[in-house]
């Protein structure tokens, strides 16, 4: 029996560029930075004073006051993005399909905002004042559970926690589950809300983040010679995956098809990447897709704006694509959204799907000075109109986790 074909029928997003998928997409193709001064806490005594925060998000507009207090910020983002994606897809969760729908959602560090806040309560007010809701609010898998509860989804429910590859793995594993016929549809994506004093300090102290405080909007500059680290971001993105048969049977709009997925590990170092694992993931995705390298028109790069990552990813792309690499359009949308950690892959998968749908490749902004180690076409500063037959989206995470997913136009 042939495996099921898997398509995308709905998208939703909450991001530093807007609190919906259309607003996020418009910000991306306009080349607008979502980075600015941190407003969630006082950063005056810190080395980094900026981040890519979600703006104008009012939890009370989506949840009651009591429920808002019992949902970590990252879970709030996940629920709003999922509600939008389900509405966009027209997929109603009913008694007939609730058991046949999965939730596969990723988060790198889950409800860390809750964890840190409740630890402060413990230190200042004592153990009896710690919230009884702290544990279910802070677990990385809370978004998956809350999505199931809010929308009545009773199928497989899995949280992928693979650092910055988390939500790309979620999409890939959901794809494999539908492909194998275990479920007919899946809610897949990822969320993160990591902008805290602790995380900003910790990432800075390991030398991972930018300190371009005089120009926050220009701080995330993937592949630029003068890049000095990533910018922390927050948000969520959700994709609705379905079997092609199911989508056609209900007359759903189809954005794109998923045709390849590769997942590997560097087995090299807990934080420092190499090119071997990412190259293997891209090759595995290409092999499953059946596409020749010259059939990929766009790569949404992991492109974090760190010196080592961007050079290694460039080397990996050249190792996989050879001379074709110089014909590819590549961009890192982290230059605009910042790095959503475990939520990054889903946001960038949505971007790849929209690039196929709209025939527009978003730019890498803040690209000013070419780096000899990064010598490919990164779509500098301005979006480009170009038909996209197939797009590859990369996500690589601490621990050596690598995930590549290939999306394509639906072709019969």
Other C-beta atoms closer than 10 Å to the C-beta of 213 total 14
CB 306 within 8 A of CB 273: no
| 164, 191, 374, 401: the active-site residue | 164
Does 265 participate in catalysis according to the annotation?
A: no
- Could you give the CA distance from residue 175 to residue 45 in angstroms, rounded to a whole number? 45
Q: First vs last Cα of the chain: how many Å apart? A: 18
| 49, 150, 302, 401: the active-site residue | 302
Residue 386 — left, alpha, or beta (φ > 0 → left; ψ -120 to 50 → alpha)?
A: beta
Longest dimension (CA), the chain: 63
Does 164 participate in catalysis according to the annotation?
A: yes
Does 49 participate in catalysis according to the annotation?
A: no
Rounded to 10 deg, the angle between the 73-89 and 21-29 helix axes is: 100
| 159, 339, 374, 401: the active-site residue | 339
CB 189 within 8 A of CB 367: no
- Interstrand relation of 6-14 and 235-243 (parallel, antiparallel or unpaired): antiparallel
Residue 117 — left, alpha, or beta (φ > 0 → left; ψ -120 to 50 → alpha)?
A: alpha
What is the chain's Cα-based Rg?
20
- Interstrand relation of 256-265 and 6-14 (parallel, antiparallel or unpaired): antiparallel
Q: Tell me which residues are annotated as active site.
A: 164, 302, 339
């Amino acid at each position: 029996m042939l495996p099921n074909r898997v398509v995308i029928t709905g998208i939703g997003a909450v991001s530093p560029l807007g609190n919906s998928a259309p607003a996020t997409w418009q910000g991306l193709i306009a080349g607008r930075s979502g980075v600015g001064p941190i407003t969630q806490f006082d950063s005056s005594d810190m080395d980094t004073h900026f981040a890519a925060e979600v703006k104008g998000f009012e939890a009370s507009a989506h949840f009651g006051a009591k429920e808002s207090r019992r949902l970590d910020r990252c879970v709030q983002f996940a629920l709003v993005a999922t509600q939008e994606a389900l509405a966009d897809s027209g997929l109603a969760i009913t008694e007939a399909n609730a058991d046949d729908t999965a939730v596969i959602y990723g988060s790198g560090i889950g409800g860390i905002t809750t964890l840190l806040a409740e630890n402060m309560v413990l230190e200042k007010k004592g153990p009896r004042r710690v919230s009884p809701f702290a544990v279910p609010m802070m677990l990385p898998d809370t978004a998956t559970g809350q999505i199931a509860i809010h929308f009545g989804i009773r199928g497989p429910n899995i949280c992928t926690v693979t650092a910055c590859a988390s939500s790309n793995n979620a999409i890939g594993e959901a794809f494999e589950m539908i492909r194998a016929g275990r479920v007919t549809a899946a809610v897949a994506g990822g969320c993160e809300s990591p902008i805290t004093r602790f995380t900003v300090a910790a990432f800075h102290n390991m030398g991972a983040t930018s300190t371009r405080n005089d120009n926050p909007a220009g701080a995330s500059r993937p592949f630029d010679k003068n890049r000095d680290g990533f910018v922390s971001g927050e948000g969520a993105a959700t994709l609705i995956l379905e079997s092609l048969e199911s989508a056609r049977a209900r007359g759903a709009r189809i954005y794109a098809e998923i045709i390849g997925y590769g997942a590997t590990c560097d087995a090299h170092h807990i934080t420092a990447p190499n090119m071997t694992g990412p190259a293997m993931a891209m090759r595995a995705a290409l092999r499953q897709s059946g596409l020749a390298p010259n059939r990929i028109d766009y790569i949404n790069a992991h492109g974090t704006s760190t010196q080592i990552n961007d050079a290694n990813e460039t080397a990996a792309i050249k190792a996989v694509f050879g001379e074709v690499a110089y014909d590819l359009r590549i961009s890192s949308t982290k230059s605009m959204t910042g790095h959503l950690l475990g939520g990054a892959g889903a946001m960038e998968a949505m971007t790849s799907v929209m690039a196929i749908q709209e025939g527009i490749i978003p730019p890498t902004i803040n690209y000013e000075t070419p780096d000899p180690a990064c010598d490919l076409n990164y779509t500098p500063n301005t979006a480009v109109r170009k038909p996209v037959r197939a797009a590859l989206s990369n996500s690589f995470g601490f621990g050596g986790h690598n995930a590549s997913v290939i999306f394509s136009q639906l072709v019969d």
